[in-house]
Chains A and B, each alone.
Chain A
Amino acid sequence: MSVLVDEDTRVVVQGITGGEGKFHTEQMLEYGTNVVAGAVPGKGGQEVAGVPVYDTVQGAAREEDANAAVVFVPPAFAGDACFEALDAKGIDLVVAITEGIPTQDMARVYRKLQETDTHLVGPNCPGVITPGVAKLGILPGNIFSEGNVGLVSRSGTLTYQVVDNLTNRGIGQSTAIGIGGDPIIGTDFIGALEQFEADPDTHAVVMCGEIGGEDEEEAARYIGEHMDTPVAGFIAGRTAPPGKRMGHAGAIVSGSGTGTAQSKITALEDNGVPVGDTPEEVADHVEDLL
C-alpha cells in the first residue's frame, strides 16, 4: 500500500512538449510510471516519448482514462493549467512542479481547490513517489527503496538527503510527498499526514519542515491530537536571519519572530515528535520508532 500514487495511477503530463516536460516524461516512464497522455493546447495529435498528446486535459482524461495530472507548464500559465486540471472530470490528483507561479494566481487556485475533492500537491515541488511503483515529478528514482516509512517535505533536495540516509540503513519508503516551498500550496503537512495515518502500510513518518509560516506548528498539534503512527522531524533554517528570504518564497522569518525554526522544533517536541539536529540523527530517530 501507499498514498496518493499506486499501480492504478494513470498520468497526463501538462506541458509535455516543453524541454522539462519531455525529459521528465521519459524519466517517469523509465521508472515504470503509467504516463498515458500529454496535454498541450494546439499540439493535439502529436506524440512525445510514445505518449499521445491532447489539446485539453479533459480530452486526455476522457480518451485515455487519465486520473492524475502533472504540471510542467511555465509560471505565467501554470495557474491556469492547475485550474484546467482541477476542472477536468476524472482527475483526482494534480501535482504542480512549476516554480515561480505568482502568489495571487495560487490564491485563486487555492480557492477553487476548496470546492473540489481533488488533491493538489505543490506547486514548486519535486512531486510524489511510491518507490517501485510510480513517480509523478522530478525526484531521482534510484535513491528511493520500497518500505514502510512515509516522508513529507517542503524541499526537494533535502528530501533526497533524508531518503539517502534512510535507504543507506536499509529503511525503505512507502510514499514520499514533496509539498513545495511556496507560501500557498495545495496539500499541506496536515493533508499529507492524514494520508499516511490512514495507510496501514506506513509504519512511521518523517516530516521535513523549514522556516516561515505556521504549517509545521499546526501539523505538530495535529500529530499530538490525531496520529497513532509515530513521526520524526527535521527543521531547516535554524541559522536564518529574520527578514531574509532563504531561496523558497515561503522560507522567511518575519520581523516579529514568527515562523522561526525554534518555534517549530518546540511545537514538534511538545507533541512527542523527536527532531533531529542533522539528517543522520533523523534516521536514528526513525530506526528507534520502527
Chain B
Amino acid sequence: MRLHEYQAKQVFADAGIPTPASQLAETVDEAVDAAEEIGYPVAIKAQVHVGGRGKAGGIKLVESKEEAREAAEDIIGMDLKGYHVSTVLVEEAVDFVNELYVGVTMDRNEGRPVAMVSTKGGVNIEEVAEEDPDAIAREHIDPAFGMHPFQARKVVYEAGVDRAVANDVASVLTTLYQLWDDRDGADTEINPLMITSDDEVIAADAVMNIDGDALFRQPEIAEMGEEAAEGDELEQKADEYGFDYVRLDGNVGIIGNGAGLVMTTLDLVDYYGGEPANFLDVGGGAKADRIANALDMVFSDENVDSVVFNIFGGITRGDEVANGINQALEQFDEIPKPVTVRLAGTNAEEGMEILNEDLVTVEHTLEDAVQRAVEYAKEVEA
C-alpha cells in the first residue's frame, strides 16, 4: 500500500527528517494562497501515484502569483496517466547544489533488507540501477540486529557522498531504516535528497510503500491508506469484495481461483489470439455468493464481450461455483455476455450437472474453454 507524497513527508518529518515547507491544497485559490504564504519560487505537485509525474506535467515550478494560479488551474482536475488529480502539494522550492538517492527496501533474493545510497539522485533510480549499477552503494542489513551505525556510515561513504554532509546523510538513512522497520515498510525512499550550498540536507520527495499484509498492526498507516486509495470504480469495488483484481485493456473477462492459474488463463487468452480484460482471483474456498459477485463485477466492465470461468477446485467446490454462476445468471432475462465455464477438481462433476447449459457454455479442458471464450469475444466484436 502506497502513501501519497504529502503523507509520507509528514511521517518522515515527524521522525526528524528535514523536509521543505509545504501546504496541501484542493482548490486553485487554496494553492495560490499557499504559494503566497510560502514565498516564491514554489513547486506545485500533483498528489497521485504516477511515476514520471514531472515529465507528464504533474509538477510545475512557479515564480509568481500569476504563474501559481496558472499552474494550479492546469494541474488540479487534470488526468495524469489515467489518474484524476484532486489535490496538490504546494512546496518551497529548494535551491540545491547536489541531489542524492537514499532508500531502504526488501531484497527478496537475499531475504534481507538492503540500504542504498547514490550520488545520482533526482532521476529514475531504476534506470540508474540498470545502466550504471556501481553508482548505487548497497548494504544488507541483518534483521536480527537491525542497522548498525557503522553500516549507515559505510554505505554513505562507499557511495562517494561529500564528507561535509556525510554524517547528516547517514543520520537520515538511519531514521529511514528505523521507519521502514517500525512501520512495516516495503520500500521507503527519498529521491532526491537535496544538498544545499549551506550543506543542509532536505528530503524533496518521499516514497513510503507499506506491506499490505502488515496493516493489521499499523492502524495509523492503514487510515492514511484509505485517504490515498485510488484506482477506478471497478478496482475499488473489487477491494470491497476482497478480490484480487487487475483491470487490463482487452475484452475477454477472466475469473478463476489461485493467482498462478488465473495468470495462466490470461496468458492462454493471449496465446489463442484474444485480449484479456482483467485478472480476477476469487481466492480459495469461494462460496456461491462470492462467485455471483465476481460475475457481476466482470459483467459491469463495459469493455468485456465474453467471460471465461476457470476453476480448479482444491478447497473450492465445483457445486458451489456452479450454484453461484446460476444464481448470477438467472436474474437476467437475457444473458448480457456469453459465459464459458470450465470446472475441474473437487466436486467438478456435480458442478457440471448443476450448471444450466441454456445459460452457459461448458467446456472440459482449460484450452477448449479459453478458445471458446476468445471466439465469442471475436463474434461480438464483428
Contact = CB atoms under 8 A, between A and B. Distances in A.
Interface of A: 75-76, 100-104, 106-108, 110-111, 126, 138-140, 143, 153-161, 164, 181, 183-184, 208, 210-211, 213-215, 218, 234, 236-241, 243-251, 254-256, 261, 277-280
Contact of B106 (A183, A236, A279): A183
Contact of A111 (B111, B181, B263): B111
Contacts of B345: 140, 143, 160, 164
Interface of B is mostly: mixed
B85 interface: no
Interface in B228-286: 244, 246, 248, 256-264, 266-271, 276, 279, 281, 284
Nearest 3 A-B pairs (CB), nearest first?
A155-B260, A247-B259, A157-B258
Given A76-B217, A213-B109, A244-B246, 17 more contacts: A102-B211, A107-B143, A108-B143, A108-B144, A111-B142, A140-B313, A155-B259, A155-B261, A160-B314, A238-B267, A239-B248, A240-B279, A247-B244, A247-B258, A247-B279, A255-B51, A279-B366
Given A103-B214, A256-B129, A236 B260 contact: yes
Given A140-B313, A140-B346, A237 B126 contact: no
A107 B213 CA distance: 14
B285 to A, nearest CB: 9
A251 B126 CA distance: 18
Contacts of A240: 263, 266, 279
Contact of A104 (B181, B314, B346): B181
B216 interface: yes
Chain B interface: which size bin? 35 or more
Contacts, number: 169
Contacts of B142: 111
Contacts of A213: 108-109
A108 B214 CA distance: 14
A111 B366 contact: no
B312 A251 contact: no
A88 B234 CA distance: 47
A158 B51 contact: no
B211 A246 contact: no
Contact of A160 (B211, B281, B312): B312
Interface string B97-139: 0000000001011011100000000000011011000000000
A174 B322 CA distance: 33
B261 A237 contact: no
Contact of A239 (B186, B213, B276): B276
A251 B313 CA distance: 22
Nearest to B261: A157
A118 B314 CA distance: 28
B270 A164 contact: no
A239 to B, nearest CB: 5
19 contacts: A103-B184, A104-B214, A110-B111, A140-B313, A140-B314, A156-B314, A157-B257, A157-B258, A210-B263, A213-B108, A236-B260, A236-B263, A247-B244, A250-B108, A251-B259, A255-B51, A261-B267, A277-B271, A280-B365
Contacts of A107: 106, 111-113, 143
B354 interface: no
Contact of A164 (B106, B246, B312): B312
B344 A164 contact: yes
B377 to A, nearest CB: 15
A111 B144 contact: yes
Given A111-B142, A246-B246, A255-B51, A157 B314 contact: yes
Given A237-B267, A255-B51, A157 B213 contact: no
Contacts of B262: 246-247
B200 to A, nearest CB: 30
B315 interface: yes
A111 B112 contact: yes
A126 B109 CA distance: 22
Interface string B214-228: 101100000000000
B367 interface: yes
Nearest to A277: B271
A286 B214 CA distance: 41
Contacts of B266: 237, 239-240
A246 B268 CA distance: 16
A156 B260 contact: yes
A241 B266 CA distance: 11
Contact of A255 (B126, B181, B257): B126
A238 B270 contact: yes
Given A140-B313, A278-B367, A102 B184 contact: yes
Nearest to B270: A239
